């Protein structure tokens, strides 16, 4: 049995009661960063073995984890923040479990792009989630394609690349294309900056940016 357990994206109170029950019941918790997950489990007085499971070792440990589950162990996958598999490790393990008829269950819960999308003020009846843009190869080609996208677009980005990405989006989509940048969601210093791409890029270029970031951009009219 494999459970995909969403973890809080900031505020520890945003974990569900069911998620806590599952973490109490499983034999092993697979953690993207055992230090981060350890703090979460300690906060809720949950004592379970932690096994590292991240993008750098997922291929190496995949078969061993599958064999353990086939032998009867229950496991939960937890990332540093949000729902496993959404721009985070989990896909390979889920695919292998499905191949081997191991039951997989994904719990509903925290995902950063949902609150960012809903509070952006942009149309959300139709949207496309792009996650992190390619850093180099294929980046320009993708941006040219997305310039014609009519649905609202959602991106993840790191603080160090935020301004560059906003400037590139303005270059390909137009300076006046509306956007909303959300950072530090659910935390004390949560910020949602709305406006034209060029203005929002200039705003963040004038300050130090920290935290996880979601960029929501209006589709082509």
pLDDT at residue number 177: 98
Task: Let me know how many helices (H) and strands (E) the chain has, helices first.
Answer: 8, 10
Q: Answer yes or no: are the C-beta atoms of 170 and 177 closer than 8 Å.
A: yes
pLDDT at residue number 194: 98
Q: Where are the domains of the chain?
A: 2-106, 113-217
Q: Answer yes or no: are the C-beta atoms of 154 and 81 closer than 8 Å.
A: no
Give the separation between CA 197 and CA 122, rounded to whole angstroms: 13
Give the separation between CA 173 and CA 76, rounded to whole angstroms: 41
Give the separation between CA 183 and CA 160, rounded to whole angstroms: 13
Give the separation between CA 22 and CA 16, rounded to whole angstroms: 10
pLDDT at residue number 103: 97
Where does residue 20 rank: exposed (0-12), middle (13-18), buried (19+ CB within 10 A)?
middle
Within the chain, residue ranges assigned H as helices are 17-25, 34-43, 58-70, 91-99, 113-118, 139-146, 162-173, 197-205
Both tokens of 60, joined, read 């190496």
57 by DSSP, 3-state: which?
A: coil
Q: Answer yes or no: are the C-beta atoms of 6 and 83 closer than 8 Å.
A: yes
Q: Which pTM value belongs to this model?
A: 0.92
pLDDT at residue number 99: 97
| CATH class of segment(s) 2-106 | alpha beta
pLDDT at residue number 126: 96
pLDDT at residue number 24: 97
pLDDT at residue number 143: 97
pLDDT tens per residue across span 134-172 = 998 999 999 999 999 999 999 999 999 999 999 999 999
Q: Answer yes or no: are the C-beta atoms of 110 and 7 closer than 8 Å.
A: yes
Question: What is the homologous superfamily of the domain 113-217 according to CATH?
Answer: Tetrapyrrole methylase, C-terminal domain (3.30.950.10)
pLDDT averaged per 10 residues, the chain (length 221): 96 96 98 96 97 95 97 97 93 97 96 95 96 94 97 97 97 98 94 97 94 96 91
């Amino acid at each position: 049995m494999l459970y995909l357990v969403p973890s809080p994206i900031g505020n520890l109170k945003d974990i569900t009661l069911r998620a806590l029950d599952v973490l109490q019941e499983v034999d092993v918790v697979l953690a993207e960063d055992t230090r981060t997950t350890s703090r979460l489990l300690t906060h809720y007085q949950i004592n379970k073995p932690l096994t590292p499971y991240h993008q750098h070792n997922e291929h190496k440990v995949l078969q061993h984890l599958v064999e353990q589950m086939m032998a009867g162990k229950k496991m939960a996958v937890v990332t540093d923040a949000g729902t496993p598999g959404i721009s985070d490790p989990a896909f390979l393990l889920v695919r292998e479990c499905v191949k081997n008829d191991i039951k997989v269950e994904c719990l509903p819960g925290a995902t950063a792009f949902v609150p960012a999308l809903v509070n952006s003020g942009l149309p959300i009846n139709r949207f496309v989630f792009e996650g992190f843009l390619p850093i180099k190869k294929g980046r320009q080609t993708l941006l040219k394609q997305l310039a014609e996208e009519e649905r609202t677009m959602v991106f993840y980005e790191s603080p160090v690349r935020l301004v560059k990405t906003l400037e590139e989006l303005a270059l390909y989509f137009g300076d006046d294309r509306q956007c909303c940048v959300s950072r530090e969601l659910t935390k004390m210093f949560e910020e949602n900056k709305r406006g034209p791409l060029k203005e929002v890029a200039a705003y963040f270029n004038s300050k130090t940016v920290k935290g996880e970031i979601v960029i929501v951009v209006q589709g082509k009219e």
